[in-house]
Structure 1
Amino acid sequence: MPAPVRLIVFDVNETLSDMSPLRARFEEVGTPGYLAETWFAGVLRDGLALTAAGGYASFQAVAEAGLRALLPGLDGWHGDLDHAVARILDGFGDLGVHPDIPDGMRQLHAAGLRLATLTNGSATTAERLLSRAGILDRFEAVLDVAAVRAWKPAAAAYRYATEWLSADPAETLQVAVHPWDIDGARRAGLQAAWLRRASPAYPHVMTAPTHTAQDLRELAGMLTS
């Protein structure tokens, strides 16, 4: 039976943030909106690949490099590359959280659980996201992987968070929509909760989550009932 959860660490991009408005940014610079998902998947691929090979680059650097590789190769696109890259990346500053996040966070905080975030992106961007949502004060820490120079799902990233927060990994719950984040956390000795959102199934080749919920409201109910 899992140990009681005392600390919850949240992934940020896509788990907390609703990234669908980035589609409009791609359309504004003259490209199809669906490329937002293609590009972001490439950012994750390249960042994780660098970590797997023993390298490191910041989320900002990987995201920009991905756009500079993707956009010029589009048939018929002749836009201003510098402007397009800046316009798309600036979109992170306007993102909001998913509708279930504020209520779920308040319920978890009211139950006395410690809350933190750990992102492969920027802690500053995450702080601004949480501040716009009116829930920043619920969080004990807003962390990113820059200090450890290893993207999740590297074990070093989760170890950094639990050590920084003086937490027992066995009593720490990682929450994410990405199965690779769930798998990495479980392998690092944490518990993990997978938020399904629109995903139909969890990949059977990855370590199973400790908890599965449709969204944060459902997970909060499971953890506080």
Structure 2
Amino acid sequence: MTDIGADVDRRVAEAWAQVEAGLSHVLPASLRQLNGPAPVQVVDAVEAALAVRLPQDFRASLRIHNGTNPGPTLPPRDPSPVPLTYLCDTTKIVEMTRMWRDNHDPEPDWDDPQVWAYLVDTEMLFLNGPVRPVIGSPGAVVVGDMNGDVRWLLDFDPAPGGTPGQVVRVDVECASWDVLAPSWTQLLVRYAKDLKLFGADPDSSPLEIDHLVGPACEWASSSSDSSGVRPAWLQDVQPRSPYT
């Protein structure tokens, strides 16, 4: 392993330790849902199945916690440790990503920055950060799910100014797309910070936590704040209505 690789692994391990410390304080029962590590060969198999190279920090994360497991009962016996129903394990990553990609239906009249600018201006689409709102984009890998309504993606085809592998929260029903963090490590650090804030003063944290269910999936969503506001990469785009 190179020094760079060792440093990435160390930072991911530290970030997960911070998340676990926060959960131990505010939602200790949720820790039981964290899965153990995935073998390297299993992570390699995900890449082969999806024909993608996962970011090194996400690979390192799977080798610490291979997703989460809410268990066989509904509702789950324990609250979720994340603001989703679950983080995908390696099997679910492949399954959910294939389902996501199966929904890809290229529409040149709609998959256009000019149309996206129009939809944002008319409050029919909510974009926060450098993300292209393409449902089923083949340049994404699904890594988390909330009842099939909200997903977390690793985005390998970001809009201008974005970072390949950035973490995106997508709520298709609400037409909301939020870049949560430029990398998986930074997502974990952000989440750990908000857990710590919640432990000190719940009103100061963007997290809302039901101690029977877990954190609300709206964490880090800006749909209400970004209503009618274009992200920087769309600022100078001439809007075009897709209805004319």
The two structures have a TM-score, normalised by structure 1, of 0.24
Flag the structure with higher helix content.
Answer: 1
User: Structure 2 length normalisation: TM-score?
Assistant: 0.23
